[in-house]
Amino acid sequence: MATAEFGRAVRRWRDKVSPEAAGLPTGGHRRAAGLRREELAQLAGISVDYITRLEQGRASNPSAQIVEAMARALRLSTTERGHLFELAGLAPPGPETVPAYITPSVHRLLDRMTGTPVVVYDASWTLLKYNPPYAALMGDPSGWRGNERNGVWRHFLGLSSRARRTPEDQAAFETSVVSDLRAAAARYPADQRLRRLVGKLRAHSDRFVELWDSGAIGRHESARKTIDHLQVGSLLLDCDVLTMTGSDLRIMIYTAEPGTEDAERLALLTVLGTQAMAE
């Protein structure tokens, strides 16, 4: 059970993190230099009400996933992260669970790619972090909760996506992500969240069951994607997936060939999206 100090610690760390340091656009009058509760909620994928109750000591049993998300959003060091878990009455996730900790170096990498859509997933394809250009390109994920943040779940349950694929590309994509998820389940057999995700996918998607049971083999790495965007039209982009050795994090980067209309549209979209988020 979390102690009262848990909420006070979250508030202290929230006050220390500036929007710029968290990768958020700034604008308008601010009474404090730190993150607002709404901004922490957006970064962590948690409701504002729940963060308020945690800080005020009215919620005392945050899950390991909630604590991990808050540590990630607050950019805590390994030692600070361990202390936050301790205050929550929990042990930090061990090597038997899917890693969700984003190192400071990966945070800095995203901070420097201000004009490029970038998103970070864990080994189960659950979204951990994204930058404003990604939100402008693919839609703002800040309101997604629970399994909605998982790319495999969103695909097989038919949730919205701006990516357009041919039937051949669709089949290859489905094979690769199911294979990735099976590999993650084999590497982290004790991860209960991952086991529940697979169980729910099997219960809700016949296509997922077909691919899972067939032992389909593939790996989701690099591809060319057509993104249909309401404001700027279609963009043909290269999508590269980088895997961080030792953490199993997947960093997905979208770029356009220089000098093309796609590059111009991506640049325009980045500016439009950043302005909208600032407003």
Q: Indicate the domain borders of the chain.
A: 4-87, 104-278
Judged against a pLDDT cut of 70, whether residue 95 lies above it is answered with: yes
Amino acid in the structure at residue 214? S
Is residue 22 exposed (0-12), middle (13-18) or buried (19+ Cβ within 10 Å)? Answer: buried
Residues 6+ apart with CB under 8 A from 199: none
Instruction: Band the pLDDT of 215: cuts 50, 70, 90.
Output: confident
pLDDT digits (tens, 9 = 90+) for 40-54: 988 888 889 999 999
Average pLDDT over residues 137-141: 91
Judged against a pLDDT cut of 50, whether residue 55 lies above it is answered with: yes
Sign, CA torsion 37/65/132/12: positive
What is the percentage of the chain residues whose pLDDT exceeds 70?
94
Q: What is the pLDDT of residue 240?
A: 93
Tally of CB atoms within 10 A around 56: 12
Q: Which among 104-108, 110-114, 196-200, 218-222 has the top mean pLDDT?
A: 196-200
Global pTM? Answer: 0.77
Q: What is the pLDDT of residue 94?
A: 79
CA-to-CA distance for 5 and 79, rounded, in angstroms? 16
Q: Which of 100, 58, 56, 120 is nearest to 193 (CA)?
A: 100
Q: Which of 91-105, 151-165, 202-216 has the lowest mean pLDDT?
A: 91-105
Place of tokens 């796609």: 262
Judged against a pLDDT cut of 90, whether residue 178 lies above it is answered with: yes
Q: What is the pLDDT of residue 33?
A: 73
Average pLDDT over residues 94-107: 85
Instruction: Band the pLDDT of 65: cuts 50, 70, 90.
Output: confident
Judged against a pLDDT cut of 90, whether residue 143 lies above it is answered with: no
CA-to-CA distance for 50 and 42, rounded, in angstroms? 12
Instruction: Band the pLDDT of 213: cuts 50, 70, 90.
Output: very high
Judged against a pLDDT cut of 70, whether residue 279 lies above it is answered with: no
Q: What is the pLDDT of residue 210?
A: 95
Q: Are 149 and 45 in contact (CB under 8 A)?
A: yes
| 246 token code pair | 């030792």
Judged against a pLDDT cut of 90, whether residue 205 lies above it is answered with: yes
Q: Are 175 and 218 in contact (CB under 8 A)?
A: yes
Residue 191, classed as helix, strand or coil, is coil
Q: What is the pLDDT of residue 277?
A: 44
CA-to-CA distance for 212 and 269, rounded, in angstroms? 37
Place of tokens 């077909």: 210
* DSSP conformation class of 131: -
Judged against a pLDDT cut of 80, whether residue 38 lies above it is answered with: yes
- CATH code linked to domain 4-87: 1.10.260.40
Instruction: Band the pLDDT of 11: cuts 50, 70, 90.
Output: very high
Average pLDDT over residues 236-262: 92
Judged against a pLDDT cut of 90, whether residue 209 lies above it is answered with: yes
Judged against a pLDDT cut of 50, whether residue 71 lies above it is answered with: yes
C-alpha triplet 64, 161, 251: angle, nearest 5°: 50
- CATH code linked to domain 104-278: 3.30.450.180
What is the percentage of the chain residues whose pLDDT exceeds 90?
46
Supply φ then ψ for residue 162, to 5 degrees.
-90, -5
